[in-house]
A and B are shown apart, each in its own frame.
Chain A
């Protein structure tokens, strides 16, 4: 009886497995992805007209006003290429990397992805992104802002094209500045200290916040402060001898100990800074031009008092550019169509329309940036940020190259900076410790890079 039951059970399980497997989608290609280069060649030979069904993943661009915009993009592209079907899907930004990496293990992944450079580096290092150069005109680079276009290169391959950009500006509460009699945005560490002291004395609250994020902002700041001098030479950190970087670390420590910087700064995220700014517990901060997004809805009166200025390190230091890219995964079935669609999304006209809708980003094409919308954006707080950002763009580029050990560098930088800020170690000790860790990381990863 037991044996019979067991046999029946085994037979039923086997049958169920076969049936369930048989339910699989017939369209799914279980044979893997094949060689993309070969696909590209055969596609080119067979037909010059684009075809195929492609999926475009945007990152946190759903709802109003973007749904209508992307519908129009889809419809225009499908009209231009009747054999092409475009699906557009939005993914929450924070999960984009994980989602892309998981999808790449399957055969029904997306064809065009909206990525930030950090995610791009990780996915590219695992061979997940297509070299787009062979599908694009040789002069493609001339259409884009130079620094933004260069951000798409990884190991000398063009793995992404730039979409929308932000760069660093300073944001301040003009009411607080007025109360403290501060007339200009500081342009060096000494001026920053003096301005912050005056404001804190007047408001009774901390006045400055140094955004740290995951350490990347501090790394970028160090390159900006070095102002043309390398902070890493052939895989060896050399910033510990830079007097200006030392002054930056030292001043931040002093400001923290004197209460000019909030204790919440140890967390270091832009969200924490936005919250303090809305609370009026912060008067001055360096951030992207999107900084005011939540402030406008969360603290309307603070938003009205907000103004943008140039970044805090003078008007000639190199600034970082944050680029949102479009990339094409290697396992796309339709590389030509995917690249053509990416190009279409990124043309000057579409980018200008996108930037106008978004309201707090800059386009990456040179032509769109020449539009009145950016040269004369009006006098709203967001517009002032846009104008300052467009100016800073002239000296903006990706300051930290995308190396495999990037995550490690960011982590150790954040930890060390916080240790210095809260006074656990001196600025000098912190920089020496950080330089040692960076050099070790480059050496372990066998990376010979200078920046």
Chain B
């Protein structure tokens, strides 16, 4: 009886959290399906569901152009961030050198610096390097991130040193040990970092806006902002449709890769 009560409470709690987290998403979906003659607040469910808002939003926010830019930016940012972070994190986890801790603390400390503080110098630096209106320019903030370095370093630390030592004894060099032994063992972390990088790059707004002086290089999040900040107010149904269009790819990737979140090196070494 007690168990049943606890279970009911648990389920109620779960339903509550599902409602709080998924509810706004469902409400947005329902609003996006309402036709032009229907008020957004008149009924919860659309009387005559239509996908018109999706087509209009797609055209008005220039989603086709901006989607290509965003996808290219993501395709560059994700592998580069994984590569640079895993390279940078390795010596911080496994090598002994002077100032290692200072470097690590400095890298972590940069996470606490607000972007607005270094936005102007970064804007100038990137401009002087000729990266304005370029895909590399769009993703400079997403490559070699302090968060990524820290995340991977922590993951490296969980791998038993004995694994590396046996690889060295078998004649592998440092690069081979890193690439063939260590990296495959932290695959879940690499995928986690990939998902984070994907999400941050996909939704990055202020930097792409600041660094882009050509509309052709805008990304989806800027298109969405343009749609929602229309000078005479916004069409909520269109914004709902555009928000979902922007979110769907991100959500799909997350669902597809979430199984890799779980993974350990348990059992890699016996004894």
Contact = CB atoms under 8 A, between A and B. Distances in A.
Partners in one complex: yes
Contacts of B229: 60, 92-94
Interface stretch (B38-46, B149-157, B161-169): B38-46
A300 interface: yes
B123 interface: yes
A214 interface: no
A103 to B, nearest CB: 7
Given A94-B229, A298-B237, A106 B123 contact: yes
A384 to B, nearest CB: 15
Given A89-B215, A360-B232, A21 B128 contact: yes
A63 B127 CA distance: 28
A293 B230 CA distance: 9
Interface stretch (A22-30, A129-137, A170-178): A22-30
A112 to B, nearest CB: 13
Interface in B237-262: 237-238
Interface in A107-145: 107-108, 110
Interface stretch (B102-110, B176-184, B193-201, B205-213): B205-213
Interface stretch (B16-24, B68-76, B220-228): B220-228
Nearest to A101: B120
B235 A108 contact: no
B231 A93 contact: yes
Contacts of B130: 23-25, 28
Given A297-B235, A360-B232, A63 B42 contact: no
Interface in A424-446: none
Contact of B39 (A101, A107, A274, A299): A299
A164 B206 CA distance: 27
A279 interface: yes
Contacts of B235: 294, 297-298
Given A271-B233, A278-B40, A293-B230, 6 more contacts: A63-B61, A88-B215, A90-B215, A108-B127, A293-B233, A298-B237
Interface of A: 20-21, 23-25, 28, 30, 55, 59-64, 87-95, 98-99, 101-103, 105-108, 110, 271, 274-275, 278-279, 290-295, 297-302, 358-361
Interface of B: 36-42, 59-62, 116, 119-120, 123-124, 127-132, 206, 209-210, 213-215, 222, 225-227, 229-238
9 contacts: A24-B127, A60-B230, A92-B225, A95-B209, A271-B233, A295-B233, A298-B39, A298-B41, A361-B231
